[in-house]
Structures are given as C-alpha cells and as structure tokens.
Amino acid sequence: DQQVKQNSPSLSVQEGRISILNCDYTNSMFDYFLWYKKYPAEGPTFLISISSIKDKNEDGRFTVFLNKSAKHLSLHIVPSQPGDSAVYFCAASALTGANNLFFGTGTRLTVIP
C-alpha cells in the first residue's frame, strides 16, 4: 500500500521557468514532510522539509507548500536551472513514529536549457 504518491513520473521545464512537483499522501498520522533530490549513482540528498504546523517553507529557490486538508504537498523551484535536473522524492514521517520515512516513487525533472 503506497502511502505517499507522486503521480507524475516525469516533468520537463524550460530553464528560468517554475517547476512544480506534486505529492499526495494517505496517512493522516504523517506530520513531517521532506523532499529529497537524487542524481544518478548517488544517494538521495535532503532538499527541504515542512512540519504540519506550517503551510509553507521557503529556502532560496525552493518552496514547499502543504495542504493538510487535501493531504497534498508541492515543491516549487523558481527559477529552474539545468542543474536541478534530477529525480525528486517526496517523503513523510509521523511524529509519533520511529522517524521511519515513507517515500513516493519519484518524479524525474528535466530542465531544458
């Protein structure tokens, strides 16, 4: 049972434009959400996180939005750069749990120069 879902396997965006990656979850116990970026032959790299007490968190070009009622979060990258081309994983954990991360299947972002 996939508790975290990324329904878009791939996304292509022009350099300088906004990239929007989406993620949905089903477990209402999830209270902490993260985005990881993964380049080929490397492990996932932490990008940005958000706690359920917030609806937005911003770090430079990256902003994560959380809509708890819809069980939906999104990652916005503005402006997109060719170096952002990677696979992006959404992950979630429950505050009452053992910090287990549940990952989505990933979205491959390609930023076209």
Quick one: which of 52, 104, 57, 103 has its CA closest to 76?
Answer: 57
Query: Could you tell me the sign of the dihedral formed by the alpha carbons of 27, 8, 101, 64, in that order?
Result: negative
Q: Look-up: residue for tokens 């053992």?
A: 98
Rounded least distance, CB 15 to another protein, Å:
27
User: Closest distance between another protein and the C-beta of residue 88, in Å?
Assistant: 11
* Structure tokens given for 60: 């430079």
> Which spans of this chain sit near another protein (rule: CB under 8 A)?
4, 31-32, 34, 36, 41-46, 49, 51, 89, 91, 93-106
Count CA atoms closer than 13 A to 55's CA, side-chain side. Answer: 5
4 vs 77, beta carbon nearer another protein: 4
Residue 21 tokens, joined: 């990656």
Cβ of residue 109: shortest distance to another protein, in angstroms? Answer: 15
CB of 16 to another protein, least distance (A): 29
